[in-house]
Amino acid sequence: MRLTVLEEGHAAEQKAQMQHMRVQGIFVSDMTKVCLYRPELFGKGFLAVCDAALHEQPSFWTQGERELFAAFVSSLNQCRF
């Protein structure tokens, strides 16, 4: 199910950020739209957890390996980000 609000409901600042990304040739995924829509309720916390899991926490795996695992799982889930 696609939420119409994620296509049309962003504030001017978020719309400008997404337009800048598109001009730069960066794909704006649905997850990006969700994180930008209400960053205070979801985006900031979600991105902080992702950043900690991929970059900050001590691990047996290198940062590059963790990034590769995330990309592989996203691929299995047919997810573009």
Spell out the domain ranges in the chain: 5-76
> What mean pLDDT is reported for the chain?
87
State percent of the chain over pLDDT 90.
25
Query: What does residue 5 show for φ and ψ, rounded to 5 degrees?
Result: -60, -30
Q: What is the pLDDT of residues 8-36, one digit of tens each?
A: 888 899 999 999 999 999 988 888 898 99
For residue 81, pLDDT over 80 is answered with: no
pTM: 0.67
State percent of the chain over pLDDT 70.
95
Helices (H), 9-76: 12-23, 30-37, 44-51, 63-76
